[in-house]
Every structure is written in C-alpha cells, then in structure tokens.
Chains A and B, each alone.
Chain A
Amino acid sequence: MLNFDYRRPESLVEALSLRKEWGGKSSLLMGGTDLFLAIEEEVRRPELLIDLKKIDELSRLEEKDGSVHIGAAVTYSELIRSDLIHDKLPGIWESSRLVASVGIRNSATMVGNICNAVPSAESAAPLMVRGAMIHIASSSGSRTVPAVDFFTGPRRTVVKDDEIVTSISVPLLKGKFGESYVKLGRYRGEDIAQVATAVLVDEKLNFAIAYGAVGPVPMRIPGAEAVLKGKKPTADLLDKAKAEVLSTVTPIADIRASREYRLHMCAVMFEKAIAAAVSRMETGAPAYGARLI
C-alpha cells in the first residue's frame, strides 16, 4: 500500500528546506515519467514527494553569459519548440526529438532524464560532447559539476539527498561546428536506446565523441577523439578511432540486444555520426532531425 505525502513548493528556497528536512525519505518529482513507475513498482518508497514543476525559477530557458541555461522544469516539448535550442544546440534539439513520444515529452524534463541516470538516458551523450555543466543547490549553497562527472553508476549520480538540480548550462560555440546524435531503437517512438552516440566537431577538427547505453554510465571516448583531432577523417583514421571506441565501451547483453550486436552497431553508428557531423559543419546537410540510421 503506497502511502506518501505530497508537497508542491512555489519557490526553490522552500523546496530546499523540505529537502533538508526530509533528505533520503523524499523524492523529487518533475514530469514523473520515470519516478511514477519506480514508486508503483516499489523500487522507490518515498515518504514525501516534492513536486518541483511549479517553481518559476526552475522553468527558465534562456541565453545568458555565453551559455544556454535549461531550467530543471523545462520539458522536452519546450526544448523542441525553442528556436534557441534548434539554432544554437542542434545536437540537443535532434536528440530531444527522439525521446519517447509527444504525450511523454509534454511532461518529461531533461533534468529528470539525467537525474534518473539510466545508461541509455537520451540527453547524457549530447550534453557531454557540448561540455555542459550541471548546477546543483542545497540549503547551504550551490555547486556545479561537469556533465562528464555527473553519473556515478547505473541510476546513480553525484546528487545528494539534500540537494536539487536547478539547471543545466551549455556553453555556446563560436565559429562553425557540426553535431549529430544517432539512436538505435527497435522502432520509432517510445523505445529506449540500445546504443546512442553523439558527436561534435568544430572548424579546427576537434572532435568530441560520447556514447550512451554501452556501459554502466554514459561516457566520452577520449582515445577516439585524440586519433581524429585536427585531421580529415580518412578511412584509415576512422578505423583507428573505431578501435578506440570498441576498446572503451563495455556493453551488456539484455532483453533489447546482445553484446555482440551492440558492439557491431557502435562501429556502424560511429561512422554515420562522424560523417553527419562533419558534413553538417561543411554544408549544413543532412538537416538536423533527418534520420541518420
């Protein structure tokens, strides 16, 4: 029998003081598209739900001081509809469109997605390649953690029981760049990734490469980034970089896919993601949102 109390604070200060008082007995509720089922299945047994949806300070989506700030209460539907996201963070726009379906995206938030921290979390790899920062507050202060250091294990993050993630900030890039996000699902709409890869390339051919769903946490692939750095990605270099990818990822076999299939697709998707990012930087095609796989 589920028995919890529910509070809907109107300010962050109020939410943080509830969080301080209730700690690990509380769960933070945003869209609830992950948390609701965790509670129904009794994976989580909170005594208090702190609903953060109606806190104005967490609903902001804006450009400020050279970064795009995505408040914790901003939903995927809001991100997809934002010109700021489409124009300046196209990889994040592209990946957000692949989360679930409209009815879920109307409630689901990006912050909820990364805080839930499953290895396949859609936004993890795209945020990692953009050098995103995660802003975390508690009643005694605030701190900022790079997205690459945010995940500590499956369903685990650096967020402590008295803390709340308030926003994500993504630094804007100067000059030309190209991004891509490739998701391997079994069908379109509502399937989580079996393999996901995000790539960012800039004018100087600096590459940032990240994978999701092929290890306990989403990860950057520094070995592959180093191989490709500053050079035109020839077939030979791509092979070397692919070898780095395959020696870094540690996919498991589960109900969705075997380990071998995932490894195979890591390599296939690598080529598609690099090709799309480079070509988008140079020619703008294929358009963001076009199917890459």
Chain B
Amino acid sequence: MVREIEFTLNGYHQKITVKPSEKLLDVLRDRLGITSAKYGCGKGECGACTVNLDGKTVRSCLMYAVEADGSVIETLEGFQRLGKKEIQEIYQKHNAFQCGFCAPGFIMSTDELLSQNPDPDEEEIKEALAGNLCRCTGYKNIFSAVKEMVEKRKGRES
C-alpha cells in the first residue's frame, strides 16, 4: 500500500511515494534531506520537529506524510530563499542557543508569531514559544532575540 503525494517544500515542488504509516518528520529527514526538523520527544511535547504547514506551525512528529499531500511546507532550510534569514541572524547575535537542537523549532515558532502579530508583548511571546523546550539556555537569550526582532521590524516600518 503506497501513495504518491505532492507538496511544495521551501518553494520547490516535490513528488514522492510513501506508505500511509510513514511519519512526515521521517520523510523530511530521511528522504528529502531536511535535517533542521529534529526528533526530540516524538510525542508533540518539545517542538523540535516544528515545521510550517500551510502557514501554521505543526508537529511533524505527530503527522503522517500522506496528510501533507497538496500542502505548502516551509522549514528552516528555506529561510534564505524565502527571505526570512534575519530571524536566524538575530538569534545568533543573541547567542540564543547552546547545543542548538531546539533552534529550528524556536525559529519556526517565532516566524509564525511575528507573521500573525508584529508587536507581541512579553506574555504573547511566552505563549507562542511555550510549546518549544530548550534543555540548555534558560530561554532568556531566546526572548531577547525575539524582542530585538520585533523592535527591528517596527523601526523599519516607521
């Protein structure tokens, strides 16, 4: 039992044959070279596998690849091409990571937050990132990176 599915991945059209039981995360990592999405908990709890599907972040560890048929997927690999590299750079500048395992998930969630709410307050930032766990940093630098990102974008608009 196999299915041919199609989706757009970071702006490129993909066609791939999958079994219905293949997880989206495994297909992305093992077959399409998308290694930014990580396998952390495999249970939806840590956010390391976060990708953007049709404009919303989802847990790629909690989905079958067949469910993504016909959709538009963005991962960190596409950020340069999609013109979103700035978020990565500001995270780097703030030294917001240590081992970096959680980084792609945090950046994907930050990107979603800022696309919906260009001027989030501290509570809203916490709310948006509550589903991403980091074992290393204590989150402080992550929050300061997001805040600088917000200020920078506001500055450009005014």
**Footprint of B on A, CB under 8 Å?**
2-6, 8, 29, 32-33, 36-37, 40, 49, 51, 53, 77, 100-104, 106-107, 188-190
Query: Could you tell me the distance in whole angstroms from the C-beta of A181 to the nearest C-beta in chain B?
Result: 17
Query: Could you tell me the distance in whole angstroms from the C-beta of B61 to the nearest C-beta in chain A?
Result: 9
Using a Cβ–Cβ cut-off of 8 Å, how many residues does chain B contribute to the interface with A?
Answer: 28
Q: Is B36 an interface position by the 8 A CB rule? A: no
**Cβ-neighbour of A103 out of B42, B43, B59, B67 (below 8 A):** B59
Known: A3-B1, A102-B113, A102-B130. 17 other contacts (CB 8 A): A5-B20, A6-B64, A6-B66, A32-B63, A33-B44, A33-B62, A36-B62, A40-B42, A49-B20, A51-B67, A100-B44, A100-B131, A102-B131, A103-B50, A103-B58, A106-B56, A106-B58
Per-position 1/0 for B52-73, Cβ under 8 A of A: 0000111100111011010000
Docked CA distance A8–B148 (Å): 43
Q: Is B86 an interface position by the 8 A CB rule? A: no
Docked CA distance A200–B131 (Å): 30
| Shortest Cβ distance from A101 into B: residue | B131
Contacts of B62 in A (CB 8 A): 32-33, 36-37, 107
Query: Could you tell me the distance in whole angstroms from the C-beta of B102 to the nearest C-beta in chain A?
Result: 13
Contacts of B132 in A (CB 8 A): 101, 103
Q: Is B85 an interface position by the 8 A CB rule? A: no
Query: Could you tell me the distance in whole angstroms from the C-beta of A173 to the nearest C-beta in chain B?
Result: 28
Query: Could you tell me the distance in whole angstroms from the C-beta of A36 to the nearest C-beta in chain B?
Result: 5
Question: What are 27 A-B residue pairs whose CB atoms fall within 8 Å in the complex?
Answer: A2-B21, A6-B3, A6-B20, A6-B64, A6-B66, A29-B67, A32-B63, A32-B67, A33-B44, A33-B59, A36-B63, A37-B62, A49-B20, A51-B66, A100-B131, A102-B112, A102-B127, A102-B130, A102-B131, A103-B44, A103-B50, A103-B132, A106-B56, A107-B58, A107-B63, A190-B44, A190-B131
User: When the two chains form their complex, are residues A101 and B67 in contact, meaning their CB atoms are under 8 A apart?
Assistant: no
Contacts of A188 in B (CB 8 A): 130
User: When the two chains form their complex, are residues B47 and A101 in contact, meaning their CB atoms are under 8 A apart?
Assistant: yes
> What are the 5 A-B residue pairs with the smallest beta carbon separation, nearest first?
A101-B131, A189-B130, A6-B20, A2-B21, A106-B56
| Shortest Cβ distance from A48 into B: residue | B20
Q: Is B121 an interface position by the 8 A CB rule? A: no
User: When the two chains form their complex, are residues B131 and A103 in contact, meaning their CB atoms are under 8 A apart?
Assistant: yes
**Cβ-neighbour of A106 out of B21, B45, B57, B130 (below 8 A):** B57
User: When the two chains form their complex, are residues B20 and A4 in contact, meaning their CB atoms are under 8 A apart?
Assistant: yes
Contacts of B112 in A (CB 8 A): 102
Query: Could you tell me the distance in whole angstroms from the C-beta of A191 to the nearest C-beta in chain B?
Result: 9
Per-position 1/0 for B131-145, Cβ under 8 A of A: 110000000000000
Q: Is B109 an interface position by the 8 A CB rule? A: yes
Contacts of A104 in B (CB 8 A): 44, 59, 131
Residue from A40, A53, A102 with most neighbouring chain B CB atoms (10 Å):
A102
| Shortest Cβ distance from B51 into A: residue | A103
Residue from B44, B64, B127, B131 with most neighbouring chain A CB atoms (10 Å):
B44
Contacts of A37 in B (CB 8 A): 43-44, 62
Contacts of B63 in A (CB 8 A): 32, 36, 107
Q: Is B27 an interface position by the 8 A CB rule? A: no
Query: Could you tell me the distance in whole angstroms from the C-beta of A123 to the nearest C-beta in chain B?
Result: 18
Q: Is B128 an interface position by the 8 A CB rule? A: yes
Docked CA distance A53–B127 (Å): 25
Contacts of B43 in A (CB 8 A): 37
